Structure 1
Amino acid sequence: MSERTLPSGLRAVTRAMDDLAIAVVHDLVATRSYSGEESAAVGVFAKHAHALGMHVAIDEAGNGHATRAEVTRQGGVELKDSRKIREIVLLGHIDTVPGDVPCVLRDGVLHGRGSVDAKGPLATMLVAAARAKLPADVGVRVIAAVGEETAVSPGARFVVTRMRPAACIIGEPSGWTGVTLGYKGRLVMHVTMTRAGAHTAGPEASACDALVHAWQACVAHVQKLNAEHSGAFETIQASLRSLRAESDGLCDCATLSAGFRLPRWMLPDELELAMRGVIDANSLVATVAITAEGHERAYATDRNDAVVRALSGAIREAGERPHPKLKTGTADLNVVGPVWQCPIAAYGPGDSALDHTPGEHLVIDEYLRAIGVLTRAVESLASELVADS
Structure 2
Amino acid sequence: MNDQQALQLIEAMVATPSVSGDEAAIAQLLVEQMNQLGFDAHIDAVGNAVGVIGAAAETVVLLGHMDTVPGNIPVEVRDGELWGRGAVDAKGSLATFIAAAARAHAEQRLTYRVIVVGCVEEEVASSKGAHFVAQTMAAPLWCIVGEPSGADRLTLGYKGNLRAQIRIEQDAAHSAHASHTAAEHGCELWQAIAQHAYSINQGRERAFDQLLPSLVKIESGGDGLRDWCELLVNVRLPLDLDPAAYTAMLQQLLPNYAHLKVSGATPAFSSERTSSIARRFGRVFRANGQQPRYVQKTGTADMNVVGPAWGCPVVAYGPGDAALDHTPQERLPLAEYLQAIAVLTAVLSND
Residue 69 of structure 2 corresponds to: 97
Instruction: Using the TM superposition, give the Cα deviation of residue 267 of structure 1 relative to its aligned residue in structure 2, in angstroms.
Output: 0.9
Partner of 1:305: 275
The verdict on how the C-alpha distance between 1:203 and 1:334 changes in structure 2, with shifts beyond 3 A counting, is: same
Q: CA deviation at 1:135?
A: 7.2
CA contact (8 A) 2:155 2:296 kept: yes
Aligned to 2:344: 374
Alpha-carbon displacement from aligned partner over 1:173-204 (angstroms, at most 9, x marks no partner): 00000000111111111111123333322322
Equivalent in the alignment of 2:101:
129
Alignment of 1:38-49 (within 5 A): 38-49=23-34
- Cα contact 2:186–2:230 (8 A) shared by 1: yes
Aligned equivalents of 2:177, 2:28: Cα separation in 1: 59
Q: Specify the alignment match of 2:120 in structure 1.
A: 146
Deviation for aligned residue 1:228 = 4.0
1:21-170 matched pairs, under 5 angstroms: 21-68=6-53, 70=55, 85-133=57-105, 138-163=112-137, 164-170=139-145
TM-score with structure 2 length normalisation?
0.94
How far apart, in 2, do the equivalents of 1:358 and 1:91 lie?
25
Equivalent residue number for residue 238 of structure 1: 213
Match of 2:165 among 171, 176, 190: 190
Q: How far, CA to CA, are the matches of 1:200 and 1:242 in structure 2?
A: 23
2 CA distance for matches of 1:319 and 1:50?
35
For the 8 Å contact 1:310–1:378, the answer to whether it is kept is: no
Q: How large is the Cα RMSD of the aligned pairs?
A: 1.8
Work out whether 1:268 is the aligned partner of 2:253: no
Bigger drift between 317-326 and 261-270 goes to 317-326
Partner Cα separation in structure 2 for residue 69 and residue 183 of structure 1: 30
Q: Which amino acid aligns with 2:122?
A: E
Q: Percent identity over the alignment?
A: 40
User: Matched residues in 2 for 1:328 and 1:137: separation?
Assistant: 33
Counterpart secondary structure, 2:178: coil
Structure 1 residue 317 displacement after superposition: 2.4
Query: Counterpart of 2:114 in 1: which secondary structure?
Result: strand
| Separation (CA, whole Å) in 1 of partners of 2:111 and 2:342 | 22
Matched, 1:251 2:226: yes
Q: Which moved more, 1:319-328 or 1:342-351?
A: 319-328
Deviation of the 1:69 alpha carbon? 5.5
**Distance in 2 separating the partners of 1:138 and 1:209:** 59
Letter matched to residue 67 of structure 1: V
Residues 323-334 of structure 1 correspond to what in structure 2 (within 5 A)?
A: 323-334=293-304
Secondary structure of the 1:161 match is helix
**Distance of 1:225 and 1:305 partners within structure 2:** 30
Shift of 1:62: 0.7
Question: Which runs of 5 or more residues in structure 1 are unaligned?
Answer: 1-15, 72-84, 384-389
Larger CA deviation: 129-138 vs 55-64: 129-138
Question: Which 5+ residue runs of structure 2 have no aligned equivalent?
Answer: none
Q: Distance in 2 between matches of 1:268 and 1:258?
A: 13
Contact 2:54 2:110 in 1 (8 A): no
| Number of matched pairs | 348
Q: Is the 8 A contact 1:145 1:155 kept in 2?
A: yes
Closer/same/farther in 2, CA of residues 210 and 156 from structure 1, 3 Å limit: same
Query: Are the counterparts in 2 of residues 35 and 149 from structure 1 also a CA contact under 8 Å?
Result: yes
For residues 306-321 of structure 1, what are the structure 2 equivalents within 5 Å? 306-321=276-291
Contact 1:307–1:344 (8 Å) recurs in 2: yes
Alignment check: 8 A CA contact 1:193 1:289 kept: yes
Q: Tell me by how many angstroms 1:358 deviates.
A: 0.7
| Deviation of 1:297 (Å) | 1.3
Q: Quick one: distance in 1 between partners of 2:101 and 2:221?
A: 52
1:308-345 CA-to-partner distances (Å, cap 9, x unmatched) read: 11122222223322211111111111111112111221
